[in-house]
Structure 1
Amino acid sequence: MSWFVPFAYALIAYAIVWGSGLGGFPNHEFMQHLVPVMALRASPLTSTVVYLLLTATYGIIPRLASDLGEEMGWRGFLVPELFKTMGYTKTSLLSAAAWAVWHFPVMLWSNYNSGSREPLWFGMICFTVAVIADSFILTWLRMKSGSLWTAVILHSSHNLYIQSICTPLTRDTGKTLWFIDEFGIVVPIVTVCFAIYFWRRRHELDSAPPRHSGEQGSLRELALSR
């Protein structure tokens, strides 16, 4: 589920963009760029297919390595500790706020969002909404499974599908950057719909496995404040 959820909301979001004409598909310039990159002496289409296969499989490995360090702090420590006293909803909101603010400096003073032409404030709002929505999904998976790896895999899959596959394959038709990626409006809206689905299943966490094998009691006792 951790890899499928971001695949699903990314596919839905970009299908809306492509189908509505907000963005074009495919991006022939990107496909042409892949020819020398893949070094296959093949057509742009063949090079793109190989790129997609490799990126969607082996491409997640380096992302797992980098995202693990971040997730150890958020879903490895912060979320389980907050969940003890705050329950699912408040934990998701508070950890999302910390997660979003943690990104703000690189958005304000680096090239984290350098590819977008929409106003910075717009990109930051869209990004924050996406982070809050993803936090509800990540918290649910983390506490339901009892494993940090569910969060790491979802985090890496999200970055992979959106940043390395869907966005590069989208052709800019003029205002496309207002609608794609984490800094456009469509991905956050679709992700919110997925977050609502998991929020409605919050009561399932009552029977989720404990964080550690030595823990006593159920998560129902830890989440009385939900």
Structure 2
Amino acid sequence: MNVVAKPVPIFTALSFGLAWLFALPLWFTGGLTNPFFTVFALAMMFTPAIAALIVVFFVEKHPDARSRRAALGLGSVRPVGRFLRYLALALVIPPALILAALVVGALVGVYPADFVNFSGFEAMLDSQLEALGQAPLPIPIGLLVAAQFLNVAIGALINTIPALGEELGWRGWLLPKLLPLGIVPVILISGVMWGLWHAPLILLGYNYPGAPGWLALTAMVGMTIVVGGVFSWLRIRSASVWPAALAHGSFNAAAGFSLIFIMVGESFDPLQASILGWTGWLVPLVLVIVLLATGQFRPASPQPVVTRNESAPVAGSE
């Protein structure tokens, strides 16, 4: 625990302090309506990575590039088959969880869904085209909905770089540091930290507009705990931060699904519905519990080191 005692508080202070510093201009220049909001939000996403890099270089003082990469989860991706498998899961699982959240919300009655005619999405597109002085697109709405899944895949790849700004800190560096505490405490602690780190934006009304700040931040923490548990599983099983970063990018790319499947003329409370609300946490929570119960959070077996006089072993199970 002595290893954790010094670097973790320094990382926490840096990541939280820099997040507030980067977001502070929004508090004095229009908040979410600031025309450069996206720029400030993207800059904030890199603060956990900056904090992790400072700790690795100047607090832990790793002696070489290889040990620094390993400390950040950027080491070897071998065996390649395992790495690619978890990359594929990282691309697919977050959109699936977001869709499942909408289905659960619809079943509970807090999300007014239209999974057949996509009336809300069609009305939104028509409104946007009308504002541009254009006629509605002569394309079946179902085809346009299907195209959104391709957009999510493309968006996931693009979003991976800013997502790495967060994941390099939370899952890349911090998660292995906390692992001696046990996997459940790791999921809870890192999830709470990840959620509270969003405070500079959440308290401005981001994600939960109109909700009291304390309630919005509590809801954000609930979401980051369960979703962070899934990202943690990808990080641990792949022995790399990249699947967690891709999952984060895929998650952000699919966030707009709640607008695609909503009933025309309806709205929903993000505290109740979508992946942001309590009904959206149920499926990822069940997934994390199943993964825990089946031992899927055990670290992946390290890749054997082959010396010059040895032959490479036959590939086996993880």
TM-score (norm. length: structure 1): 0.76
Q: Which has the higher relative contact order, 1 or 2, with Cα contacts under 8 A spaced 6 or more apart?
A: 1
Q: Which residue of 2 aligns with 1:113?
A: 207
What's 1:92 paired with? 187
1:174-206, Cα deviation, whole Å (9 max, x unpaired): 5544432343221123322222122223x3444
How far residue 72 of structure 1 moved from its aligned partner, in angstroms, is 0.7
Rounded to whole Å, the distance in 1 between the matches of 2:237 and 2:168 is: 17
Contact 2:205/2:211 (CA < 8 Å) preserved in 1? no
**Partner residue of 1:170?**
262
Equivalent residue for 1:30, pick from 124, 145, 148: 124
Instruction: Name the SS for the 2:244 alignment partner.
Output: helix
1:104 pairs with 199, 220, 226, which one?
199
User: Structure 1 residues 44, 104: closer, same or farther in 2, change over 3 A?
Assistant: farther
Change (3 A) 1:34 1:154: farther
Q: CA deviation at 1:15?
A: 1.4
List aligned pairs for 1:31-180, cutoff 5 A.
31-33=125-127, 35=129, 41-43=137-139, 45=141, 48-49=144-145, 51-83=147-179, 85-108=180-203, 110-113=204-207, 116-161=209-254, 163-171=255-263, 173=266, 175-180=268-273
* Counterpart residue identity of residue 148, structure 1: V
Distance between the aligned counterparts of 1:149 and 1:34, measured in 2?
Answer: 36
String of CA shifts for 1:10-38, please: whole Å, max 9, x gaps. Answer: 2222112334543132313324246579x
Cα 1:152/1:184, change in 2 over 3 Å: same
Where does residue 209 of structure 1 map in the other structure? 301
SS at match of 1:49: helix
CA contact (8 A) 1:2 1:154 kept: yes
- Is the contact made by 2:157 and 2:250 (CA closer than 8 Å) also made in structure 1? no
Change (3 A) 1:120 1:184: farther
CA distance in 2, matches of 1:41, 1:167: 18
Identity %: 23
Q: Structure 1 residues 165-174 or 125-134, which shifts more?
A: 165-174
CA distance in structure 1 between the aligned counterparts of 2:271 and 2:140, rounded to whole angstroms: 27
- What stretches of structure 2 of length at least 5 have no aligned partner? 1-88, 306-318
User: Taking structure 1 as reference, are residues 199 and 30 closer, same or farther at Cα in structure 2, changes over 3 Å only?
Assistant: farther
**How far has the Cα of 1:160 moved from its partner?**
2.0
Residue correspondences, number: 207
Q: Tell me, yes or no, if the aligned pair for 1:123 and 1:184 is still in contact at 8 Å.
A: no
User: Once superposed, what is the RMSD of the aligned Cα atoms?
Assistant: 3.0
Sort the Cα spacing of 1:206 and 1:174 in 2 relative to 1 into closer, same or farther, 3 A: closer
Distance in 1, Cα, partners of 2:145 & 2:128 = 10
Structure-2 change in CA distance of 1:206 and 1:199 (3 Å): closer
Aligned to 2:105: 17
Q: Could you say which structure has the higher helix fraction?
A: 1
Deviations 1:23-79 (A, max 9, x none): 132313324246579x89434716733641441221222211210111111111111
Q: Which amino acid aligns with 1:88?
A: I
Report the structure number with the largest CA radius of gyration.
2
TM-score w.r.t. length of structure 2:
0.56
Structure 1 segments (4+ residues) deviating >6 Å = none
Letter of the 2:145 partner, please give it.
Answer: V
